[in-house]
Chain A
Amino acid sequence: MPINQVQPEAVEFDVHTDEMLINMGPQHPSTHGVLRLVLRTDGEVVTEVTPHIGYLHRCAEKIGEHLSPRQFLPYTDRLDYLSAMNMNLGWSLTVEKLLGLKVSEKTRHLRVIMAELGRIASHLVAAGCYGLDLGSFTPFTWTFRDREKILNLFEAACGARLTCSYITVGGVTADLPPGWLSQCEQFLTEFAPVVDELHAVLTSNAVFVRRTAGVGVLPAATAIDYGCTGPVLRGCGVAWDLRRDGDPFYTEMYDGYQFEVIAQTEGRYPQDHPYPPVPAAACLGDSWHRFYVRMLEVVESMELVRQAMAKYAAAAGEVDKPIPLKKKLPQGEVYLETEAPKGQMGFMVKSDGSPIPSRVRIRSSSFCNLSVASELCRGVLVADVPAIIGSLDLVLGEIDR
């Protein structure tokens, strides 16, 4: 057992007080939206956590049964609204898989740029908010400052900052404006030193390590059992990234790209960059590792954006235009998962031959990642609950759909 792990009996010396049921949320500063957690507490020790969701349920799947895929695209923006580009990508690829449509090389690289920028933006919010959950306000403003720059790039590309609807079925809504690539290059140059600053105030900060290392330890088997994906799964040391291990229809988007799956395997992380060392108190699968994986993925995504920009600039031809709004879908059913920043985002489309799908299913990564919370928050302290929930990086728009 890591030294930092809370032992309820050691904290409380077997002094049992009255049990208390507390509502954490749906209005609470650290539940990242309208999540409600019912805590059963015994003094400062939480014996049971029951998540209640559905406060942001907007019937996205039902709406999908009434709209054509391109009309549904803006609704995907509002699933994980912190990485709308990745949601757009997941939906577009799913419909393209049903249509059997392959996009041009130029479009493919453009999509990689956008998806990876979206991943950086999402991980920045995750890192900043995680600092906030632990009581450190400053990294939050730093990460939002740099996220703004990514949103500026999105705005320059498609006119929208948050709900982009840029990557769309068949292609993208428009090619990049002139000068965009140099702006993006400038952002990457400016952003690189910020990662080190974030490592200084969070990852390797002594108080941060004390609050996260050994807290909320998720064994790899449990993570897989609960269907946890993304950084939550990789934080357990499972090298599983759909960009490498996914459906061929998705992985071919990353053909020719150099990247490694960020997970601690054989006791070490990929060592391409000067990362701060893993503290002794941290154990695989704890909140610290989940956070660390995200921070490393930011660096990796920057590298991918650089590669993609070079490939995009080199690619000949035009970017693809979207399919017609009311294009008939072939009969059939497809399911495709993509590696969104928060985990594997799956879409299923079932069509009976009309332009409007007969069933749309959204498999949310945060949904599965949250379902393991009641396992993680057993016998922890009240202060650990935000530390654990925050390390799962939830977005309620995606959970409640």
Chain B
Amino acid sequence: MAEFLLSISAPAWLAYSVAALIQCALLLAVALGSAAISIWLERKVSARIQDRLGPTRVGGRFGWLQPPADGLKLLCKEDIIPAAADGPLFRLAPYISFCTAFCVFLALPFANNWVALRLNVGVFFILAVSGLEVFGVILGGYASGSKWSLYGAMREAAQVVSYEVPMALCVVVPVLIVGSMDLVEIGNHQAGWFWHWHVFHDPFTFATFWIYMTCAVASTNRAPFDLAEAESELVAGFLTEYSGFRWVVFFMAEYPAMFLVSGLASVLFLGGWNGPIPIASLLHLTPAVHPLAGWIGNLLGMCNFIAKGVLGITCMIWLRWTLPRLRIDQVMTTCLKYCVPLASAMLAGVMLWMYLLPGGVWTQAEQLWSPSTVNAATAVRREQAPGPPRPAEKQAHHEPEPMDVVWTR
């Protein structure tokens, strides 16, 4: 965007400001839109699970205007700050949560290279910034001046900080396969048919995906890990004293966070913007053919990406309305006794796999089926790797992946 503005000889400061503003506006729309859609989806899906109809009237059929109506109602509510609360912190907390949830979208690619800020440490950025969201919750709980809120905050601190560890371990797995922390590169690495997705890369990544999803649900404070809110125990946890707009802002942080973790899951494991069937490349919708064709291909990719995100959200909703809540000690046990060791083992397994058989199960199978060319990059890799000699039949095969370049770095 900025390059385009510079090319039509706009001053540099104007070009960058306008580009930043437009991208911010787009991302804000995505973040808020994902919140609105998630809330609507949550209401409808939970209603179906519970043998109800959910909203039906607001905005004509399907109650699709329910989230704005909810928002409007909440905005009209009295904004109460308890006398015992720490005023400035109490006011600040929701915005911290929201801003971090929103900032993460900066680095989240929606399609090939469609990302506000392409970072070569995108994964790291997302993990780091989304980890900050907990500050808002802790501050809010602490500043409310209520014992229930304090409980919520302390639980959140214990839980989220613990779950960052196995989540990071899971995220490292695709990074290890691709050899890059750039999310766009990770996404492109999975181009092609769905068996190129990392989740089907090898048995270890398949297991890692489920561990990642567990940790993702836990890190977004969704049931069965919603201990920070836990309405039957802690009234509403850290949200107990919040009302009206500030409460909305907290929710505006929760739902984009859901979209974010499912989006991240889709980039890391589920092929990102690459659909199960590579329609874009089959139809030659690539920038190599025509810039517009590339653009349409990317648009299709974005649809793929969003669909996967929504699917992830739906699964989270499904979980929430099915399972009872775990107890705090069980949540910590799940994390420390199961998720961390399992994730570590999977990481080690993937390391071993990558060392012995670079390329996924399906790639191997594909090559067994049609052994044709020898990939130079694999050869390079093999020369560099001072490992035990591998079976000869495997040496003959190669990866027809577009991302061979990774291995030459």
Is any CB of A less than 8 Å from a CB of B in the complex?
yes
Separation of A384 and B235 alpha carbons in the complex (Å): 14
Quick one: closest B residue to A384, CB to CB? B327
Are the C-beta atoms of B327 and A22 separated by less than 8 Å? no
Q: Which residue of B lies closest to A141 (CB)?
A: B50
A 196-226 contacts with B by CB, 8 A:
201-202, 205, 207-208, 210-211
In the assembled complex, the Cα of A22 lies from the Cα of B50 at a distance in Å of 33
Say yes or no: B232 contacts A22, CB within 8 Å. Answer: no
Contact B147 A22 (CB under 8 A): yes
Given contacts A28-B235, A141-B51, contact A135 B147 (CB under 8 A): no
Nearest B residue to A27, CB-CB: B235
A211 to B321, CA, bound (A): 17
Contact between chains at B322 and A134 (CB < 8 Å): no
Is B117 interfacial (CB-CB < 8 Å)? no
Range of interface residues on chain B? 20 to 34
Asked if A207 meets B224 with Cβ closer than 8 Å, knowing A141-B50, A383-B327, the reply is yes
Name A142's contact: one of B51, B147, B223, B329 (CB within 8 Å). Answer: B51
Q: A135-B226, A383-B328 are in contact. Are A29 and B235 (CB under 8 A)?
A: yes
Per the bound structure, the CA–CA distance linking A205 and B322 in Å amounts to 10
- Chain A nearest CB, measured from B235 CB (Å): 6
B138-155 CB mask vs A (1 if < 8 Å, else 0) is 000000000110010000
Q: CB within 8 Å of B: which of A16-35?
A: 20, 22, 28-30
Chain A residues within 8 Å of B330, by CB: 210-211
* Contact of A131 with B233 in the complex, beta carbons under 8 Å: no
Which residues of chain B are within 8 angstroms of A136 by Cβ–Cβ distance?
A: 322-325
Assess whether B49 is interfacial by the CB under 8 Å rule: yes
Q: Is the CB of B233 within 8 A of A11?
A: no
Pairwise interchain contact A134-B232, C-beta atoms closer than 8 A: yes
Q: Check B233 against A382 for contact (C-beta < 8 Å).
A: yes
Neighbour of A135 across the interface among B52, B232, B328, CB < 8 A: B232
Residues of A within 8 A of B227 (CB): 383
A29 engages B232 (CB within 8 Å): yes
Asked if A132 meets B232 with Cβ closer than 8 Å, knowing A138-B322, A205-B324, A381-B329, the reply is: yes
Q: Are B232 and A386 in contact (CB under 8 A)?
A: yes
Across-interface contacts of A202 in B (CB, < 8 A): 324
Q: Give chain B interface residues in 23-61, CB to chain A under 8 Å.
A: 46, 49-52
B224 to chain A: which residues have CB within 8 Å? 135, 207
Closest residue of chain B to A6, judged by CB? B329
Say yes or no for A137: interface residue by CB 8 A criterion: yes
Complex Cα distance, B233 from A382, in Å, reads: 7
Chain B: minimal CB distance from A48 (Å): 16
Question: Which residues, 214 to 264 on B, are CB-close (under 8 Å) to A?
Answer: 223-224, 226-227, 230-235
* Chain A 56-77: CB-based contact to B (< 8 A → 1; otherwise 0): 0000000000000000000000
Q: Select which of A29, A208, A381 is within 8 A of B231 by beta carbon.
A: A29
Chain A, 215-245, contact with B by CB distance < 8 Å: what is the 0/1 string?
0000000000000000000000000000000
A20–B149 alpha-carbon span in the complex (Å): 13
- The answer, yes or no, to whether A44 is at the interface (CB within 8 Å) is yes
B235: chain A residues within 8 A (beta carbon) = 28-29
The answer to whether A135 and B223 touch across the interface, beta carbons within 8 angstroms, is: yes
A145 in the interface, Cβ–Cβ < 8 Å? yes
User: Are B49 and A138 touching (Cβ within 8 A)?
Assistant: yes
Whether a CB of chain B sits under 8 angstroms from the CB of A393 is no
- Within 8 Å CB of A11, what residues of B? 329
Beta-carbon contact of A145 and B328 below 8 Å: no
Interface 0/1 of A113-156, CB less than 8 Å to B: 00000000000000000011111111001100100000000000
Interface residue ranges of B257-285 to A (CB < 8 Å): none
Task: For the complex formed, measure the closest distance between the CB of A2 and the CB atoms of chain B, giving whole angstroms.
Answer: 14
Q: How far is the CA of A135 from the CA of B223 in the complex (A)?
A: 8
B226: A residues at CB distance < 8 A: 135
The yes or no answer to B207 lying at the interface (CB within 8 A) is no
- B326 CB–A CB distance under 8 Å: yes
Question: Is there contact, CB below 8 Å, between B322 and A210?
Answer: no
Which of B50, B234, B328 contacts A381 (CB under 8 A)?
B328
Report the Cα distance A137→B148, complex, angstroms: 21
The answer on a CB contact under 8 Å between B321 and A133 is no
Q: Does A385 contact B (CB under 8 A)?
A: yes
Please, which residues of chain A bring their CB within 8 A of the CB of B322? Answer: 136, 138, 201
Given the known interface contacts A22-B148, A30-B233, the answer about A207 and B326 at a Cβ–Cβ threshold of 8 Å is: yes
Which residue of chain A has its CB nearest to the CB of B329? A11
Residues of A within 8 A of B52 (CB): 141
With contacts A22-B147, A29-B235 known, is A208 near B324, CB below 8 A? yes
For A211, list chain B residues within 8 Å (CB): 324-327, 330
Check B323–A30 contact: CB distance below 8 A. no
Which residues of chain B are within 8 angstroms of A383 by Cβ–Cβ distance? Answer: 227, 230, 233, 325, 327-328
A208 to B330, CA, bound (A): 12
Q: Is the CB of A131 within 8 A of B147?
A: no
Residue numbers in A under 8 Å from B323 (CB-CB): 135-136, 205, 207
**Which A residues are CB-close (under 8 A) to B51?**
141-142, 145
Q: Is the CB of B232 within 8 A of A138?
A: no
Least distance between A346 CB and chain B CB atoms (Å): 31
List the B residue with the shortest CB-CB distance to A142. Answer: B51
A30 surroundings in chain B (CB, below 8 A): 231-233
**Whole-angstrom distance between the Cβ of A139 and the nearest chain B Cβ:** 9
Complex: how many Å from CA A145 to CA B49?
A: 13
- Asked if residues A210 and B231 are in contact (CB atoms below 8 Å), the reply is no
* Bound form: Cα–Cα A210–B235 in Å: 22
Chain A residues in 8 Å Cβ range of B147: 20, 22
Contact of A210 among B151, B233, B321, B326 (CB under 8 A): B326
Bound form: Cα–Cα A134–B223 in Å: 11
- A-side residues, CB < 8 A to B, are 6, 11, 20, 22, 28-30, 44, 131-138, 141-142, 145, 201-202, 205, 207-208, 210-211, 381-386
Q: Top 3 nearest A-B pairs by Cβ distance?
A: A135-B325, A141-B50, A136-B324
10 A/B residue pairs, CB under 8 Å, sorted by A: A20-B147, A29-B232, A30-B232, A44-B151, A135-B323, A135-B325, A136-B324, A141-B51, A210-B326, A211-B325
Name 12 extra pairs, CB < 8 A, besides A135-B323, A207-B323: A29-B235, A44-B328, A135-B230, A136-B322, A136-B323, A136-B325, A141-B51, A201-B322, A211-B324, A383-B328, A384-B327, A385-B233
Interface residues of B (CB under 8 A from A): 46, 49-52, 147-148, 151, 223-224, 226-227, 230-235, 321-330
